[in-house]
Copies of this chain bind each other. A is one copy, B any other.
Amino acid sequence: MEIEVLEGVFDANEIIARENRSLLDARGAFMLNLMASPGAGKTSIIMKTLEGVSGDLKCAVIEGDIAGKVDSEKIAATGVQAIQINTGGSCHLEAKQVNTALERLNMEGVDLVIVENVGNLVCPAEFKLGEDLKVMILSVAEGHDKPLKYPLMFSESHVLLINKTDLIPYTDFDIEALEDTVRKMNLQVEIFRISCRTGEGVSDWTDWLKNRVRG
């Protein structure tokens, strides 16, 4: 008698992530999965990114939060299509939630979908959403010792945005040490130094992103 292997059951998230991928490919859309601790500047970076690519890329934003809709309201106020997912307690987004959001968005002509994951430096790294790029943010205020404490996030991300560089003079943050550590853990990582407050470094990131989406 043949024994049934239920391997796929444990990969339900991965199957739906692949569905999301097909859905995006059919539309010719690129998707970012933006991850960071609470308060690292995810929403501010989204606002700056939307500004930086406007005119070149048509965007939509999927906002993931445990509760509330302050972030999606901020985005919608700029005229960009935004949809809010409330996880109701869960500490990360799963592919199914993004799938529902993608079905509800008007994807006509959309080039870039930015998903703002729940503020958490741990669990979101474990769940694929069907994204093209995993982008993580580390704020200067969090300290340069974080990669060794949260290794999965730093080693899985394609892009690291170091945000709030304007605070460097008021902290002990060693940006060279941070970048060295991350590059040892993650050979392919692209790193950008950004201050959403002063705008410094933002265009390096958005120019690179435009090339990736168009390329």
Binding site for B on A (CB under 8 A): 37-40, 65-68, 70, 89, 91, 118-123, 126, 139-143, 145-146, 148-152, 164, 166-167, 170-171
Contact = CB atoms under 8 A, between A and B. Distances in A.
A170 B141 CA distance: 12
Contacts of A70: 145, 148-149
Contacts of A120: 91, 120-122
For the complex, would chain A's binding face be called helix, strand, loop or mixed by DSSP majority?
loop
A66 B126 CA distance: 14
A67 to B, nearest CB: 6
- Residue from A122, A152, A170 whose CB has the most chain B CB atoms within 10 Å: A122
B150 A66 contact: yes
A141 B91 contact: no
Nearest to A124: B91
Nearest to A118: B122
A167 B139 CA distance: 13
A145 B149 CA distance: 25
A171 B41 CA distance: 12
Given A67-B148, A67-B149, A149-B66, A142 B39 contact: yes
A169 to B, nearest CB: 9
Contacts of A91: 91, 120, 122-123
Contacts of A164: 141
Contacts of A140: 141
Given A67-B151, A70-B145, A91-B91, A121 B167 contact: no
Contacts of A143: 39
Contacts of A148: 67-68, 70
A39 B37 contact: yes
